[in-house]
Each structure stands twice: as C-alpha cells, then as structure tokens.
Structure 1
Amino acid sequence: MTSDDQFFFDYLASIPHDVRRYSLQVADSIDRQFDWAAATIRDTLSHQTWLPPSVRPRLRAQDMRSSPHGLADRVQDWLARHRALTAAIVAFVGTGCVLLYGNKKLNSKRRKARKAGNGARKEIVVVAGSPHEPMTRAIAADLERRGYIVYVTVSSADEEHLVQSEHRADIKALWLDLTTTSPNQSELHPSLHELRTLITQPQYPLPGMPPHTCQLSGVIIVPSPNYASGPVATIPASSWADTINTRLLSPILTAQVFLPLLTLRSNSSSLIFAYPSISSSLSAPFAGPEVTTARAISGFATSLRQELYLLENGNVDVVELRLGNIDLGPSYRNAQNQIAGTEVLAWSAQQRALYGSQYLNSIEQRPVASAGPATIRGSPARALHHAVLDALEPASRNIFGRRVHKKAVMYVGRGARSYGVIGDWVPSGLVGLMMGYRRGQAAGLGSPSSGSETSWERV
C-alpha cells in the first residue's frame, strides 16, 4: 500500500469525529437559542396581568437574581461584561491625572528672584513712588523678602529717612530729581550712574568669592492713588496742577529716565504702571482728576509698548496693573484724616445747591474704598504681590524660539475686571442707574433759602 492510499484512509477515519464535533456544536447553539426564546416568552407572560395567576408562569430564582435593578448593580454588571474597555478607561483617566498633576507641579511659579552663581542677589527692581504711600512700602517689602535688591526713589531727606527706617539692607533709597537733566539728552540721568555700574561691571560680594553682574529686572511706577474729588467747578487750578505734575507728568518722566538703563542689556525687563482703574473704567462723575490721569497713563503705556516692540531686541515689556480694591493689611492703612463729604462745606452756596445732593449720593454709592479700608472688603495684598512678580518674570519663548511678550494689561483687586467689562460694554445711562445716580432738582441761580443753607451747615 502506497503512502497516498494511507493518507486517503486516514482522512476517511477522521470524518466521523469531525461530523460528531460539528453536530454537537450545532445542537448546543440550537439549545441556547431555544433556552433564550423560552426565557423571553416566560418573562413576557409572567408580566401579563390578563392571564390568571394559576396559568401565569413564575420567574425562576436564578432569573430573579440575574436581573440587576439598582444603579450600582447595573454598573457592576456592565463593568463585568466590558472588562477590557473598563481597563482602558481607567488607564486613560489615570494617565491624564498624573500628567496634569505633574505639569502643574513643573510649571508652578516659584515667584522668587534668581540668584547669582555665588549665591548673592543679582536682580534689581526700582519702585518709583513716594515712600509715604502704603502701596509703595508694601511692594518694596515683599520684593525684598523674595530675594530682590529694591531701590525706592526719594526726593527729600524725610523720604530717605523713611526708607532707612525699614532696617533692611536690600531696600535702598535712590535719589531721583526729575527737574535735573543732563546737558545732552542722550546721556544717562546723573542719579542713575550707580545703577549703571551695578549692571555693567562685575561685583565682588566678599573677598575670595567669584564676581557676578547684576541686572535691572524692572521699574515699577506707583503714582499716588489719592485724588481730589468733587465737581469740576469746585476743584481749584492748583489741585489740577498738582495732580498733573505728581501723578501724570512724574510717571512719564520717570519712564523716560529709566529707558536707557532698561534697554542697555539684552536681559528681559519690565516697565510696570500700577494705577487705580475703577473710576476711570466707569467714567464716574465727580472723579475728574482720577479719570483724566488714569486714561492718560493708559494711553501713554500703550503708545510706549508699541514703540518698544519695534526695537531689534524687544526685551522691555510695558505692563499695566489696573488696580481695584486691595486690602494691604492693618500695618499699611492710613488713618482717616477727615470724614468723607465734609469738603462740601468749603463750596460756595451756589455750588452746594447745584451739586451737593448728587455728590453726597455718589459718595454713598461709590464702588471704591474712599470711606476707609474697613467699609469695602478688598482683595488680599497677596494678589497684588503675585501680579507684580508675574510682570517681572522673564519672558518665555514659543516652540519656534521666538520671544513671547507678556500680558499687556493685568487686573488686580476686587472689582477691577468686572467694572472694566461694565464700563466697556454697558451703556453709560444703565451704569448710572446701577450705581444709584439720580438726576436731582437743581436750585436756581439765585441765593439759596436760609433753610437749605442751615441744613448744609449740619453736614
């Protein structure tokens, strides 16, 4: 018998086994289908109310246990039937949480100054504002705690003594007389030669230690937030001149003086303007000096920002900090010198009759803390300090290696952003209605009655 014959007989012998296996599989499949159909019919008939109870089939205990009724049972049954999909979902969600948490930890800002290789402080920040202002002292103290070398501009011996009374080695007074100019406009201001030496020449903190070079990280311009208030007709010309000189012209000249130092080196630096913004956003009545100054500073900052963008290096960012209500803490609160509204007594009788009731009503409805820090709850000082540090952070770079400019406008404090949106989008008439401003009955141009004058004297 050849090998071909043997293969043929082996194949014939395997046919009965295959037929038996296939027939068993078909029978099992038919049994399962019949069982499923019977169970379906039994379940359907068991819920039919028109059948007599004696004829109605009863559910088996196994079927009753296998049908989950609660949400937890259905979820557990679904998870048991889709184990692969459940494992994939758990892995995806877990990996996403780990990556999100890790990215948050890696990108969290330390908000501290960088130090030189020898451990000494190297970042310099100039705070251009009066040391008598609580905000100037609060910003300087926080920056010094975070590792910066802080210079506070002074223009008198009293201000210099106030800076020295802080008793901190890295908070120093910087004499800056804006009335003194160099013979050549292109030359550096005489008061800034010390800063230029620090950022251009190596500094030796201690004998034997390697030298380091400091850098000017930013200039923070903080004009006084206190403005004269009242109708334009009652504000004297001297008050307008003082407001323009100290809160508008002085910040502009300060920025002009420091620009040569800020552009001297290629390191990233910031020019920061911090000013109140609520009244200017709403164009509030009886706040003419504040609205005028804030709008002018904002316009100047925008123009200067576009001008510095055109430079080849483009390493200076102009940032506006539009401030709302900020509580600097009890140690920085000024004592209230006078009660709000008493300035009405200095007006003439005609001015009191025309503007008195509306002005007093505006003081009650004013959204700023003009009546004292205890009446308006402001954001904590931490919000201001974090915003200043974010503005001083070195500029980042995108995936193409190009420098990304910092945020041009930052809103700090309670009410700054919300009132800014209201002032931009809500009609002025509706804003006045929301703030409670009402048009009153103005008195005639003649002399007011004696009764009204007596009532004003009671204020």
Structure 2
Amino acid sequence: MTSDDQFFFDYLASIPHDVRRYSTQVADSIDRQVDHAATTIRNTLSEQTWIPSQVRPSVRNAQNMRHPRGFTDRVQNWMTRNRAWTAAILAFVGTGCVLYYGSKKLNGKRRKARKAGNGARKEIVVIAGSPHEPMTRAIAADLERRGYIVYVTVSSADEEHIVRSENRTDIKALWLDLTAGTSTPSELHPSLHELRSLITQPQSPLPGMPPHTCQLSGVVIVPSPNFAAGPVATIPPSSWADTVNTRLLSPILTAQVFLPLLTLRNNSSTIIFAYPSISSSLSAPFAGPEVATTRAISGFATSLRQELRLLEHGNVDVVELRLGNIDLGPSYRNAQNQITGTEVLAWSAQQRALYGPQYLSSIEQRPVASAGPSTVRGSPARNLHHALMDALEPASRDWIGRRTRKKSIMYVGRGARSYSVIGAWMPSGLVGLMMGYRSGHSAPMGSPSSGSETSWERV
C-alpha cells in the first residue's frame, strides 16, 4: 500500500468524527434558537391581558430562571463553576478546624485538682518513693502546684529533711515502716491513721469556715529506676536481695498497705505504678535485675487490676506508667558519680575475658540514659505530669451513665512505646542486630594473657 492510499484511508476515517462534531454544533445552535424563541413568546404572552390569569405565564418565574434568587444561589453557581477552588477551600478549612479543635481537646484540658466548697484543698495523693530520687521530687512539686495535698513516704530522718527542705505547706512527709506491719493485712497500718481521719472526719481549714472532708485520690508508687547492671554471673547475691526488697517487694507491700484506705469510701481513686520499660521491653542483655523486677511489677499490677474490678463499686483503678527517656530539667539532674563501664574492674579476670567486650558494646548501644541525662534527649517532664493527672482524675461516664474504665497502660517518655512494639513483634535476633549486640568474640575460658589484663586495668 502506497502513501497515497494511506492518506486516503485516514481521510475517510476522519469523516465520521467531523460529521458528529458538525451535527452537535448544529443541534446546539437549534436548541439556543428554540430556547430564545420560547422565552420571547413566553414574555409576550405574559404581557397580554386578554389571556386568563390561570394560563398566562408568570413574569417572576421567567426572571427567576434567568437570575439567581439570592446569595445562596450565587454561591452554589460559583461552586459549580469552580469545583477545584471549592475543593481546595473546603480541605483547607476542614483541616484547620480539625487541628484547632483537636489540639484544644487534647492539650486544653484543665489538669487541676478539685477543691472543696470552701475553696480549700481536698484531694490527697501519696507518693511512695525515695525523696532522694529526682523523679519523686519532681512529681511531688508538680502535684502540689496543681492543687493536691501531697504526702511523700519516708523511712529515715534524712529523707524527712529532704521533704521539709522543699518548703511547701502541702508537701508533707509520711513515715511508713513496711516492716512494722499489723497482725492481719486487713487492719489499717499504724502510720495511716492520720490519713484515715482526714478522709473520714470533717476538716475546717480556718475558724469560721465551713468544714469539708478530704479524699484519697491516688497512690503513686515510684520504685528507684537505678538497677544493678552487668552479667548475671557478676552480680552478687546481696545486690539481688536489695533489688528484690527495695524495688519489687516494697511496691507490692505499699499497695497492700493502702488498699484498706482506698476502698474505705466510694470515691474514685487510682494506684499508679511508674517504672522504666525500655530494657524490659527489649529483654536487654546485662539488665537481668531490671527486666525481672519491672516484669514482676507489671504482672502484679495486672492481677491486682483484675481483682479490684470484681469489687461491688469498682472505683479503684490500677494504671501502669511505662517510662522511657524523660528530661526532668536541670534542677533534677544528678551528677554522674561513676564513669560508665568502670564496674568491669571489679570482675575477675575470667569474667572480664568472657563478658567484657560484649558488655562494653552494650553500654555504647544502650537506648537508655546510661551516659548521663545530658547526653540523652528525653521527652519533656510535662508529658509525665500530664499522664499522672490523666490517671488521677475520676473516670468519665458514657452516654448511658456507666463508668468507663481508664487506660490500663500508659506510655510516657521517648522510646517507651516504640521499643515496646519492637520488642513484642520483632525477632530477638533482629533486635540484637539493630542494637549492635555481637556474639562469638570472647576469649577462651582459660586464664587470660597478661597483656589483656593490663588493657582492662587501663579502663
């Protein structure tokens, strides 16, 4: 087939398209002319008085067909003609409303303690933690600023002096000796009779003011976040016993001691366990005491939560605050008294050869504040304070008046939630590879050479 034949066939193929286009233009022109003629006839007939009013066309209806009746019609016509601009404006306005009202809903909450009718403070919070810990002091100071009466448990004159040195009227020391228990666990502990009188008997802050009754809103249990680190073979039994007694047994006994007070009245109250969670989420090596303690506390809190839900009123909630890296501010930072890694000098030569390189490598890759708070970027302290307030405030009601349950687990601090997801869903080998853990580089189990011993002494 020649090029002339191809041109001829292309020309024949274009004829139907041209015919359709010309016919469409002719039909549109005829429609416009018919519409114009119909409008002219309608207007002419509407002006004739000899035509009965029942069949005579209305001038107003004809005008309404040509022009919008008001602002709404003009807006609708503009939106129809400019659909792209309409979609953009709606998206911009909708996104702005969602961001504004969403931030106001989440961050605009008034996190304050409720006051009595006479204006005095009535909500009591007990912080069961050592006053030597920065987190204990930071929590106590923030709760006092928000209108709570704060009691901090102490067990020595030095701890009581630290509490009194805060110079806050509503931050008080509460002597609590867990070893001096009662004959039966159901009886009230001797140290808690003062609190019992506050929540059962009317109190008058000043003469002439109407009395009010206080309420115990919650108990915040804050075990020390400092744990012994290192291989299990290098941790002495005395360190294990101290960890179990002060960081596991003490929180459990504290919760047991305060249960009679928390269930004495029907007001809403909360038991809060605040503990570090990064190492336990990852099952990190060389963190056996921390992993064992925090997982035991979590298991105890879960069992206690299920137990308290079986009560008739069920007004006592148990909330776990799983903490990540939190920056409490320069006023609550402890000085670094010991260079990290020097504890290997107390190990035997065989333990250094077996665990030394892996342990030092884990310190460098550790996702927690092992090198001091100044080198780890943690979340602001207000995240911790807001989470505590959300856990302490009374549970809300649904649309039919039933009491809704609070969140059982709350993640606070940088890395708390992300490491929890990583440890739960990723294989342990992949987690170890991500964290930089290495295996198979230790020396033989025989006695190490003098050169290696000298190098460890340099550390």
Does 1:215 pair with 2:215?
A: yes
Could you tell me which residue of structure 1 aligns to residue 307 of structure 2? 307
Residues 447/83 of structure 1: CA separation in 2 closer, same or farther (3 Å cut): closer
Displacement, 1:186? 1.9
Residues 98/438 of structure 1: CA separation in 2 closer, same or farther (3 Å cut): closer
Does 1:366 pair with 2:371?
A: no
User: For 1:81 and 1:281, how far apart are their aligned partners in 2?
Assistant: 56
Displacement, 1:183? 2.3
Percent identity over the alignment?
80
Could you tell me which residue of structure 2 aligns to residue 14 of structure 1? none
Gaps (5+ residues) in structure 1?
1-27, 37-75
Displacement, 1:214? 0.3
Displacement, 1:79? 2.1
Displacement, 1:399? 1.2
Displacement, 1:98? 7.0
Does 1:160 pair with 2:135?
A: no
Does 1:192 pair with 2:196?
A: no
**What does the per-residue CA deviation read over 1:129-162, in whole Å, with 9 as the maximum and x for residues that have no partner?**
0000000000000000000000000000000011
Q: Secondary structure at the match of 1:388?
A: helix
Could you tell me which residue of structure 2 aligns to residue 111 of structure 1? 111
Residues 314/81 of structure 1: CA separation in 2 closer, same or farther (3 Å cut): closer
Q: Map 1:220-239 to 2 at 5 A.
A: 220-239=220-239
Structure 1 runs, 4 residues or longer, greater than 6 Å off: 86-100
Q: How many residue pairs align between the two structures? A: 394
Residues 80/425 of structure 1: CA separation in 2 closer, same or farther (3 Å cut): closer
Instruction: Tell me which amino acid in the other structure corresponds to 1:164.
Output: R
Q: Secondary structure at the match of 2:153?
A: strand
Gaps (5+ residues) in structure 2?
1-27, 37-74
User: For 1:88 and 1:414, how far apart are their aligned partners in 2?
Assistant: 38
Kept in 1, the 8 Å contact 2:357–2:442? The answer is: no
Kept in 2, the 8 Å contact 1:357–1:440? The answer is: no
Instruction: Tell me which amino acid in the other structure corresponds to 2:298.
Output: S
Could you tell me which residue of structure 2 aligns to residue 121 of structure 1? 121
Does 1:79 pair with 2:78?
A: yes
Kept in 2, the 8 Å contact 1:358–1:440? The answer is: no
Could you tell me which residue of structure 2 aligns to residue 42 of structure 1? none
Displacement, 1:440? 3.1
Instruction: Tell me which amino acid in the other structure corresponds to 1:161.
Output: H
TM-score, structure 2 normalization: 0.81
Instruction: Tell me which amino acid in the other structure corresponds to 1:117.
Output: G
Could you tell me which residue of structure 2 aligns to residue 15 of structure 1? none
Could you tell me which residue of structure 1 aligns to residue 135 of structure 2? 135
User: For 1:99 and 1:327, how far apart are their aligned partners in 2?
Assistant: 30
Displacement, 1:80? 6.0
Could you tell me which residue of structure 2 aligns to residue 346 of structure 1? 346
Q: Map 1:22-421 to 2 at 5 A.
A: 30=30, 32=32, 79=78, 81=80, 105=104, 108-421=108-421
**What does the per-residue CA deviation read over 1:390-441, in whole Å, with 9 as the maximum and x for residues that have no partner?**
1001001111211111000000000000000000000000000000001133
Kept in 1, the 8 Å contact 2:131–2:137? The answer is: yes
| C-alpha RMSD of the superposition | 2.9
Kept in 1, the 8 Å contact 2:79–2:86? The answer is: no
User: For 2:79 and 2:372, how far apart are their aligned partners in 1?
Assistant: 65
Instruction: Tell me which amino acid in the other structure corresponds to 1:123.
Output: E
Instruction: Tell me which amino acid in the other structure corresponds to 2:366.
Output: R
Residues 218/237 of structure 1: CA separation in 2 closer, same or farther (3 Å cut): same
Kept in 2, the 8 Å contact 1:223–1:246? The answer is: yes
Displacement, 1:370? 1.1
**What does the per-residue CA deviation read over 1:115-140, in whole Å, with 9 as the maximum and x for residues that have no partner?**
00000000000000000000000000
Displacement, 1:31? 6.1
Residues 252/79 of structure 1: CA separation in 2 closer, same or farther (3 Å cut): same
Displacement, 1:99? 9.5
